[in-house]
Chain A
């Protein structure tokens, strides 16, 4: 067993899972409370990455850029909610899918108009570039560990907000019965806009975190949002806890599948067959898991109660 490879892959898997959680948390909040399917969530992820890239070049500091890009992305989410999304709450899911599909096209094209067709790599500060030495010569890449820590901190913060604040109470109430909290005098339009902006900020943070690794590029969120949807469907739509468990699960399984599936397949088939089939199955793995879980539990792992 190659321990260096294993720890690297575990770190990569956790990092991917944490980023997925940031995307999925916003998605599941928006779905849970507004019953709104937002395919354009990946566009906010992209917008966050581009803001972060530009601000890093302007300010010269990655950290400062992230801190400035978070409210900027939330503001974009705010505007999108008021201009387009708000008109769609009373419509069915089909209209949501179609209108947000249109939003994706607009976002991608406008991004190309502003930033051009090429991607941006965001430079990291020196202290995030190195590796943390562990025992036996095993090292962990600092930046990926930092992403995991930031992600876990945000997850914890989100948990505290949702369970221990008035806003969180309203969010939970909204998720279980929208009409009732409106009747109790909560400004539901404001709550919806706020939740959408929070979701946008979370997606934006995920985009900012990935920009130094994968570069900010047009359409970078379109594939990720599909994976994030897989995550929230597995976790049970509307459940943040479910999104967290499913995100880590999907992140680890996807990463592990890509590096270990071929050696696993070689145990049962010829090495040539294993080499051709393993990448295909690795790509399909999360979808296979989703279909399997939905076949057994059509409502997902942790469906929220009281709906």
Chain B
């Protein structure tokens, strides 16, 4: 929780990471390969989504198995207006955040009545309803998805049609997202949320209406995730219901837990690990045997299981090595 503690190795690692991210565009221009910029952009956007999920999952103990729905809602909030030639970015992002918040408020009111596995399953059910909802709307491509021909237009403020500008907007958004979470968890509100995770009955007997606190937290997290979805729509230029499938939500959980639940920067590390493991494992398998890269899920799954079994605290926990031992 202590973000600015210069003695911790963690601070320097994250600072180095931030500098590295900031240097990605000049490096890719220098080696003339925009592929790495694409990956970095995707990584940063997914990291925002993972940071938002971490707020409710890591600090609030609410295991949402349907957070990808908000990525989808955010992305369609860019895609649907663009479909009607409305490219006003302020409007699109306002819809993305507003629609996500509104949907989270309504669905959260029902979901938060349940606990444990029932909460996991009901959030997944809600996201599947959104999934099938978009599958059925043929006007917006149904199953096949929707191509976004124009990125969000912010007038003379920033020009997103330039890939590098979009990347820096995403990176700045990630820094802001982490800062927002940092402020929330250190506020009175965040203390109540974390208290409710530890012992909800105790918080209630202290006089806190934990249901309302959790609902507010859920809505904040969903809005952040919707914002990430809007960025993702701009980044990929193609959106489909597939991005809301329950396996996508599972991947988001993976990023949070693998990176380190309830740590500020962990989800960023998790998103990085998630995106980089695929090309790395494929490369390794291909080196062993030609064509073997289609089986990259085998080592990936094993790493996932081993991470759960042996890596308590996730990647972020590894950064603590000096203090613990």
Contact = CB atoms under 8 A, between A and B. Distances in A.
Interface of A: 31, 37, 84, 87-88, 91, 93-95, 97-99, 101-106, 108-110, 112-113, 222, 226, 229-230, 233, 237, 276-277, 279-280, 283-284, 287-288, 290-291, 294-295, 298-300
Interface in B290-313: 294-298, 300-305, 307-309
B136 A226 contact: no
B253 A233 contact: no
A281 to B, nearest CB: 8
Contacts of A299: 118
Contact of B125 (A110, A113, A287): A287
B113 interface: yes
A108 to B, nearest CB: 6
Contacts of A230: 121, 125
Interface string B127-161: 01100110111100000000000000000000000
A215 B21 CA distance: 47
B28 interface: no
Given A109-B301, A284-B128, A284-B132, A294 B57 contact: no
B304 to A, nearest CB: 3
Which of B135, B294, B298 gathers the greatest number of chain A CB atoms within 10 Å?
B298
Contacts of A37: 117, 120
B136 A279 contact: yes
A109 B121 contact: no
Interface in B80-124: 110, 113-118, 120-122, 124
B143 to A, nearest CB: 11
A59 B244 CA distance: 43
Nearest to B107: A291
B250 interface: yes
A290 B122 CA distance: 8
B246 A103 contact: no
A29 to B, nearest CB: 14
Contacts of B114: 294, 298
A31 B254 CA distance: 22
Main secondary structure of the interface of B (DSSP, over half): helix
B315 interface: no
A105 B136 contact: no
Contacts of B113: 294-295, 298
B75 interface: no
B257 interface: yes
B65 A97 contact: yes
The 3 A-B residue pairs whose C-beta atoms are closest, nearest first, are: A280-B136, A102-B304, A105-B301
B126 interface: yes
B200 to A, nearest CB: 14
B135 A109 contact: no
Given A98-B257, A108-B297, A283-B135, A294 B65 contact: no
Contacts of B300: 102, 105
A84 B305 CA distance: 8
5 contacts: A237-B117, A283-B135, A291-B110, A291-B129, A294-B118
Given A283-B135, A287-B128, A102 B294 contact: no
A94 B261 contact: yes
A276 B138 contact: yes
Nearest to A87: B309
